[in-house]
Structure 1
Amino acid sequence: MDGLIVYGSKYGTTRRYAEELSRLTGLSAIPCREFRGLAEGHILVYLGALYAGGVLGLKQTMKGLSLREGRRLIVATVGLADPAEPQERAHIRAALQKQLPPEFLERTVLFHLRGGIDYAVLSPRHRAMMAAMCFSLRRKPARQRSAEDQALLETYGKQIDFTDLSALAPIVGEILRATK
């Protein structure tokens, strides 16, 4: 196969997905900070952690990249919230629209994976952001909270991991289709 897996991971969940995808496909996986461009590869798979309304490292990775004829872009987001929820998918889509040029977004195959969180290892900034989010959610009447809101409140301060490496199967399938 001719391509590359690039990932943006802060705490390791996205890296785990990228390394497993590399193992399953034979494509090399590198952190986004090491990405210098796509040489002859005709497929770029980007896995990025969702943080504060954005996909970690995606915008920087896309700088200077062209999707010439035959090149494919696959983007998989990794987040704590359940991407099966329509509201979450809408938030992810809005974040991607801010980070990808329209011509890229329309030619990109999107996937969404669940990640995890371990409050014990969060940076002070991320810990403060999560505390502010939970404070805001607690002020909401319980009947107005979504299931995701409630789950966030119930798991606040704990370690939770929704990583499911079997969820990579559709991405592997797409990579195999793209490289034929």
Structure 2
Amino acid sequence: MDGLIVYGSKYGTTRRYAEELSRLTGLSAIPCGEFHRLAEGSILVYLGALYAGGVLGLKQTMKVLSLREGQRLIVATVGLADPGEPQNRAHILVSLKRQMSPELFSQAIFFHLRGGIDYAVLSPRHRAMMAAMCFSLRSKPARQRSGEDQALLETYGKQVDFTDFSALVPIADEILRG
């Protein structure tokens, strides 16, 4: 199969998912900064980390992408929020729509993976954003917090990793079915 896995990762979780998906499918995996174009008859798989309403590197990658007949696009997001929650998936799709052309968005197949966070290695900007989010959540009455809100507060400042390589199996199956 002729295709490529492109990923946008800042702290390494998305890169680890991309490398494992590469192992499962035989497709090469490269960072989004190295992507220039997609060869004919190919599949492009984009894995991107979710950050404050955006998917790392997705917009830049989609700018240089135009799918030809027979080419497929799979987009998988990696984030801290549980993608099993419908409201989280809805927020992710809104973010994806903002970063992709309507044509590419309508042609893409989407998957959502759970990542992790290690506050010890966060950039000052990301650390400040998480502190502000937790401050906002603490000001909410406890009965109005979602389970996810509560989990974020309980794990604030710690290292948590929800990486689950078995969640790559449906993506690998979709890649290999073509």
- Residue 28 of structure 1 corresponds to 28
Q: TM-score normalized by structure 2?
A: 0.98
State the Cα distance separating 1:156 from its structure 2 match: 0.1
SS in structure 2 opposite 1:74? strand
Secondary structure of the structure 1 residue equivalent to 2:36: coil
Kept after mapping to 2: 8 A contact 1:5/1:30: yes
Tell whether 2:73 aligns with 1:73. yes
Q: With structure 1 as the length reference, what TM-score do the two structures score?
A: 0.97
* Offset of residue 40 of structure 1: 2.6
Q: How does 1:159-178 map to 2 (within 5 A)?
A: 159-178=159-178
Could you tell me which amino acid in structure 2 is paired with residue 170 of structure 1?
P
Kindly provide the CA deviation profile for residues 153-175 of structure 1, in whole angstroms up to 9, marking residues without a partner as x.
00000000000001100000000
Q: Distance in 1 between matches of 2:74 and 2:80?
A: 20
Structure 2 unpaired stretches of 5+:
none
- CA–CA separation in structure 2 for the residues paired with 1:73 and 1:34: 18
C-alpha displacement at 1:41, in angstroms?
4.7
Alpha-carbon distance in 1 for matches of 2:94, 2:41: 28
Contact 2:40 2:71 in 1 (8 A): no
Hey, what's the Cα distance between the residues in 1 that align with 2:129 and 2:64?
32
**CA displacement at 1:39 relative to structure 2:** 2.2
Q: Secondary structure at the match of 2:171?
A: helix
Q: Distance in 1 between matches of 2:107 and 2:32?
A: 21
Which segments of structure 1 move beyond 2 Å, counting only runs of 4 or more?
A: none
Contact 1:62 1:100 in 2 (8 A): yes
1:20 CA drift (Å): 0.3
The corresponding residue for 1:94 is 94
Matched position secondary structure for 2:68: coil
Residue number in structure 2 paired with 1:49: 49
Q: Distance in 2 between matches of 1:168 and 1:67?
A: 23
Residue type of the partner of 2:53?
A: G
SS at match of 1:5: strand
Matched pairs, number: 178
1:154 alignment partner in structure 2: 154
